[in-house]
Amino acid sequence: MPQLLAASFAVFGAAGSAALVTTAGGLTGLGIATSIGGSLLLSAASNALFARTPPSATPENIKLVIKQSSGPRLLPYGRNRMSGTVTFFRSRAGKFYRVIAHSQGPIDAIETYIVDSKEIARNAGTGAVTTAQYVVDSTSLIYIHNRPGATDSAHYSEVTAVWSDYDSTHDLKGICTTLMIAESVGPDTFRDIYPRNEPSLEIVARGLKVYDPRTDTTVWSETPALIIADFIQRADGMNQPGTVDNTVLAAAANEFEESFALAAGGTEARCRISGVASLDDDPSNTLKRMRASSGAEISLLPNGKIGIYSPKWSAPTVSISRSQIVAFEDWDGGPTAVNRYTELPFTYTDPDLGFQTTGGDPWIDATRETANGQIAIGPEMNYDMCPSHAQGRYLASRQIEIDNPAYTLKVRLKPSGRLAMFERHVEFAADVTELPDVFWRVMSYDLDLAGGGVTLNLASFLPVNRASANDGTAQALPTSDTAASIPTPTNASAAGAGLRISQSSYAAGIGVVWDARPSVALAPRLEYALAGTDNFNEWKMDETSRQATISPLADGSDYDLRLYYEAQGDKR
């Protein structure tokens, strides 16, 4: 609110006067940082499992309003901020009607509506936007209605009431949509209410529900195992119904949901997924994004089904003894010091930063830097479905172990070694003395169908656990600016002043003077009203004015004045 300088005094003719009383108002010594992300020789498994190329359904793309005949179908999982494709746009009698298709449905709920990049308040019953900017004379100028995307969705009767041809053939069944109705205003207030002309609309929504075998129900969830299983089996995803093992899935869901303390306070689950799959993308690319953003692993089970696992470390249950080994066919020390990286940058999607793709605090492996004698920067990881900085750091610390094994090994085993084919990690028994005592990841295998033996391709792996000490520092919004108080006009004074209207007659008035404005961002405002009333009228002035004469006024009457500065463009 502007600060006011006000007083009440009487108006006199030219001979009278009254005084107005005013109110005061780098890099370390280890070596030169080297980027080897483009030439790093990663394992074949890493290339197959982790996404390093951006998808079309990025957090930025799904917030755009698309005006075209058709748009991509989107599958939203977890919590996302979205706009969508305009399917209907017409105007009549000073109002526009716009229907936006946001995603495949049915979604669980819309949590927030965002108009012109600002969260607004909305009456859930009537759809009226109640934020002050969009209310004039106690009347809401914007109404927002929605359909979550059920298969029995009805068309918008609010549109049909104006255009009868928008009938039940426009019901958009199975699609999450919103209808915005916005009323125009006069030119004096248009920019204050609609600063971007046509107001944009985004939603923050809880996306698709997924099947949870632990409760045999379909629920909204951010649990990666449940979301990945849904995408694999969904007809619009990878279309492999019935292929996921529910017993393994339930165990993985429990591990993903284990709670961990955060360095900044509070807790969160081990890993979550929030993101959108575009049906324009190759489904395998979407699966890579999900796995990269959650650390989930997928393997074939002995029963022929798919097993989904969390990144939680568990000791191997299979130990390979000397009697099972036919031969060591290949053995080396893993990537050379030139190809081994020590720092891993990553991006993730931060809900606290408007659901923007954000650069995380890179994971730095000080032990490797000391051993290598240099800083080497790895390929930036794309965790665009990861909604947590701490989670991104955990995934990056694990990825550095996957991409930089100390040893790699190819070993041929007898038929009894086939148990290891379906394991994620194995170890060698104590009687295998020529190998270091480490854990090994099963990267791939080759089955000898004729002889029954199996060849394993292994890479050493150091267990990685999640800990709050490794959370790092996330980017944060700058501290909100505190609006400076608007100063009061200085050295203001007023007195009765007659305005000569003919050779021998005067009109009663008030003369007001004040100092020059302290900033070009300020404009003086002068208002007057009969004393004791609240019916103030503005006396129009130029923004550079330093004086004014209000006339004609009723001679002998008392008037109240208000003189203040207003920031240019502010709406009072």
Q: What is the pLDDT of residue 534?
A: 82
Nearest to 179 by CA among 123, 100, 105, 122: 100
Asked if the model's pLDDT at residue 392 lies above 80, the reply is yes
Q: Would you state the pLDDT for residue 262?
A: 96
Distance (Å, rounded) from C-alpha 458 to C-alpha 329?
11
Residue 415 is predicted with a pLDDT of 92
Give the per-residue pLDDT at 464: 93
CA dihedral 265, 270, 275, 279 (to 10 degrees): 180
Selection from 547, 521, 520, 551 nearest residue 537 by Cα: 551
Cα 405 → chain centroid: 34
Mean pLDDT of all residues in 541-561: 88
Which residue reads 């390093």 in tokens?
52
Token pair for 54: 């951006």
Q: Within 13 Å of residue 253, how many CA atoms lie on the same side as its CB?
A: 21
Rounded to a whole number of angstroms, the CA Rg of the chain reads 34
Judged against a pLDDT cut of 90, whether residue 131 lies above it is answered with: yes
How many residues appear in the chain? Answer: 572
In the prediction, which pLDDT does 335 show?
Answer: 65
57: pLDDT strictly greater than 50: yes
For range 409-431, the mean pLDDT: 92
Distance CA 557, CA 532 (A): 11
Q: How far apart are CA 431 and CA 322, in angstroms?
A: 6
pLDDT of residue 48: 35
Q: Tell me how many degrees the CA angle 160-163-166 measures, rounded to the nearest 5.
A: 55
* Per-residue pLDDT tens digits for 363-381: 998 888 887 777 888 899 9
How far is 324 from 413, CA to CA, in rounded Å? 6
**Which residue from 553, 564, 508 is spatially nearest to 531, judged by alpha carbons?**
553
| Backbone torsion region of residue 127, taken as left when φ is above 0, otherwise alpha when ψ lies between -120 and 50, otherwise beta | left
Contact indicator for 124, 130 with CB cutoff of 8 Å: no
Look at residue 447 in the predicted model and tell me its pLDDT. 86
- pTM of the entire structure? 0.74
pLDDT (tens digit per residue) in 298-311: 988 888 899 999 99
214, 248 contact by CB (below 8 A): no
Q: CA-to-CA distance for 565 and 156, rounded, in angstroms?
A: 47
pLDDT of residue 352 exceeding 60, the answer is: yes
For residue 232, what pLDDT is reported? Answer: 96
What H or E segment, with its residue span, contains residue 90? strand 84-92
The percent of residues in the chain predicted with pLDDT above 90, rounded, is 55
What amino acid occupies position 157?
S
Amino acid letter, 50: F
